[in-house]
């Protein structure tokens, strides 16, 4: 459905020309974005021509998908007014702000938590179907720079009675016992996510925990000491919500959670945790094809943590930096970052005060990511060497990670000319992927099958493709 404006939409035509997108290209992009959100759209080049030449305004989520499609091509957010669609139903910008004021930060985070629940009640995919804009790496610029300039607030003590925004909330005095429950919830969520994927129903309880448990605490009263702990625990949960959204392909939601998590980490005065969130942002940016920005975010994590973070933590940050350099095709920088990551890891000791959220990181994880670096750098011999080390200790605790490593192993075998070994590893990867709910793992499998297309007539390849079919047609 559409409604008519007065005259042509010259703004939309101008921006389309600037982005170099044809009418057919925009229609295809909008339909694809809608499909990712569970919407069935059938726009074509004629539809776009009507939007431009006759000023027709599509209804529902379409205007926001149009802005998202153009923004993805331009590499920046595109507001509706820039494309002449400002009178469309406004979509929420909640979660993208990084307020300087602590009270405003609390409001920003709790608004995001409430929005997620409203979306879940609305139906499949919820509010994330129609958020204004898709993933835009430029949205990370302000949060990263403000965090680098001031990584801690001077005071976070709060009296809820003095906050007009909390007038409807039940007065609550927060103590360390309340915070301990949030940390326990975060620990449980980390285990479920690693074992079952970000789309598992148990993982989906994290946004609910943020709304029901964390938000009322943030809006309560607390001392500076309790407040720092509260912000830290809530930041961990918020980052987890972002990571799970990232794993299930909900990049818009992930970005908003990450930004709020970083702001909460600043309120907690927890610089290593802030670095961990920046590293998560870096991995997302790199995964989405913005490797240079991924390098910047990883280096921001490193810069503020010099002399503060443990050796194991610094190793992980350098490893994330290596991932971004490798995706950018810079072999020398990637090799240097990997060497530094390994050096930091060798310095780590059992008694180090490593944060609980880093419990997943050991040498096999280092080897797994090193293998992916060399995959991106097209060095199959190195991929095989590190993948063998990464797979030397399979564990039921990190099922998703094991599945990803198997796919990387299959790619390395294929590039080395070992089709049998590639199909064998691919078959094991498909079996693991079928046990978890992870869009990211499915995408890895899809990429492997694409690489195997030149060998499509081989019975082994046909069998692998058939085994993978239920995984690829299942809803993400």
98, 102, 104, 106 alpha-carbon torsion, rounded to 10°: 90
CATH number at residue 63: 1.10.260
Per-residue pLDDT of the chain (476 residues), as tens digits, is: 455 556 899 999 999 999 999 999 999 998 888 776 556 788 999 999 999 998 888 876 788 789 888 988 887 778 788 898 876 554 457 888 999 999 999 999 999 998 754 444 333 344 444 454 467 888 899 999 999 999 899 999 999 877 655 545 556 899 999 999 999 999 988 888 777 666 554 556 888 899 999 999 999 999 999 999 999 999 999 999 999 988 888 888 899 999 999 999 999 999 999 999 999 999 999 999 999 999 999 999 999 999 999 999 999 999 999 999 999 999 999 999 999 999 999 999 988 999 999 998 999 899 999 999 999 999 989 998 998 888 876 666 678 888 888 989 898 889 889 999 999 999 998 988 888 778 888 888 999 999 999 998 899 999 999 999 888 775 44
Residue 125's pLDDT is 43
**For residue 97, is it left (φ>0), alpha (ψ between -120 and 50) or beta?**
beta
Asked whether residue 331 is domain-assigned, the answer is no
Q: Which of 54, 83, 112 is the last residue of a domain?
A: 83
Q: Which of 56, 83, 110 is the last residue of a domain?
A: 83
Asked whether residue 223 is domain-assigned, the answer is no
DSSP assignment letter at 22: -
Asked whether residue 201 is domain-assigned, the answer is no
- C-alpha span between 311 and 341 (Å, rounded): 9
Domain that holds residue 22: 2-83
Q: Which of 20, 48, 83 is the last residue of a domain?
A: 83
- The 8 Å CB, 24+ separation contacts for 28-32 are 29/69, 29/72, 29/73, 30/62, 30/65, 30/66, 30/69
In degrees and rounded to multiples of 5, residue 2 shows phi and psi of: -140, 160
Asked whether residue 384 is domain-assigned, the answer is yes
Inter-CA distances, 275 with 160, 244, 297, 410, Å: 30, 18, 9, 32
Pair 233, 179: CB distance under 8 Å: yes
Asked whether residue 135 is domain-assigned, the answer is no
Asked whether residue 209 is domain-assigned, the answer is no
CA 409 to chain CA centroid, Å, is 24
Asked whether residue 313 is domain-assigned, the answer is no
DSSP 182-215: HHHHHHHHHHHHHHH-TTSTTTTHHHHHIIIIIH
Q: Which of 82, 66, 85 is nearest to 5 (CA)?
A: 85
Is the four-CA dihedral 448, 454, 456, 457 of positive or negative sign? negative
Neighbours of 348 (CB within 10 A): 19
Residue 136's pLDDT is 81
DSSP assignment letter at 89: P
Please give the structure tokens belonging to residue 158.
């709060």
Q: Burial, 402: exposed, middle or buried (Cβ in 10 Å; 0-12, 13-18, 19+)?
A: buried
Asked whether residue 127 is domain-assigned, the answer is no
Residue recorded with tokens 């179907």:
129
* Total number of domains constituting the chain: 2
CA 438 to chain CA centroid, Å, is 12
pTM above 0.85, yes or no: no
Pair 98, 278: CB distance under 8 Å: no
């Amino acid at each position: 459905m559409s409604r008519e404006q007065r005259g042509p939409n010259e703004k939309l035509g101008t921006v389309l020309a600037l982005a170099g997108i044809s009418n057919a290209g925009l229609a295809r992009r909008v339909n694809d974005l809608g499909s990712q959100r569970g919407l069935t759209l059938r726009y074509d080049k004629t539809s776009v021509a009507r939007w431009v030449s006759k000023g027709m305004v599509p209804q529902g989520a379409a205007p926001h998908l149009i802005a998202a499609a153009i923004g993805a091509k331009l590499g920046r957010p595109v507001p509706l007014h820039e494309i002449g669609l400002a009178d469309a139903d406004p979509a929420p910008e909640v979660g993208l702000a990084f307020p300087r004021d602590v009270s405003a930060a609390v409001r920003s985070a709790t608004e995001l938590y409430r929005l997620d629940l409203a979306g879940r009640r609305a139906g499949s995919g919820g509010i994330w179907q129609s958020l204004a804009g898709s993933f835009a790496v430029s949205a990370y610029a302000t949060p990263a720079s403000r965090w680098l300039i001031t990584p801690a607030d001077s005071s976070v003590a709060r009296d809820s009675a003095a906050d007009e925004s909390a007038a409807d909330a039940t007065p609550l005095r927060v103590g360390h016992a309340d915070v301990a429950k949030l940390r326990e919830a975060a620990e449980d969520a980390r285990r479920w996510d690693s074992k079952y994927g970000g789309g598992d129903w148990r993982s989906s309880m994290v946004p609910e925990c943020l709304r029901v448990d964390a938000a009322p605490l943030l809006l309560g009263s607390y001392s500076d000491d309790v407040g720092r702990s509260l912000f830290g625990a809530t930041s961990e949960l918020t980052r987890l919500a972002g990571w799970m959204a990232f794993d299930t392909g909900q990049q818009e939601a992930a970005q908003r959670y990450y930004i709020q998590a970083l702001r909460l980490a600043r309120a907690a005065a927890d610089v290593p945790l802030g670095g961990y969130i920046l590293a998560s942002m870096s991995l997302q940016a790199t995964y989405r094809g913005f490797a240079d920005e991924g390098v910047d975010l990883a280096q921001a994590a490193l810069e503020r943590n010099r002399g503060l973070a443990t050796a194991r933590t610094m190793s992980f940050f350098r490893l994330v930096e290596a991932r971004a350099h490798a995706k950018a095709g810079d072999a020398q920088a990637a090799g240097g970052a990997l060497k530094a990551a390994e050096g930091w890891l060798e310095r780590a000791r059992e008694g180090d005060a490593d944060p609980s959220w880093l419990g997943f990181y050991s040498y096999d994880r280092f080897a797994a990511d090193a293998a992916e670096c060399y995959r991106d750098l097209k060095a199959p011999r190195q991929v095989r060497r590190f993948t063998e080390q990464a797979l030397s200790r399979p564990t039921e605790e990190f099922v998703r990670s094991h599945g990803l490593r198997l796919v990387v192993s299959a790619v390395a075998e294929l590039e080395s000319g070992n089709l049998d070994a590639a199909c064998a590893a691919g078959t094991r990867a498909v079996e693991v992927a079928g046990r978890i709910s992870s869009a990211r793992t499915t995408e890895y499998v899809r990429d492997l099958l694409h690489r195997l297309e030149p060998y499509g007539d081989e019975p082994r390849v046909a069998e692998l493709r058939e085994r993978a079919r239920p995984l690829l047609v299942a809803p993400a």
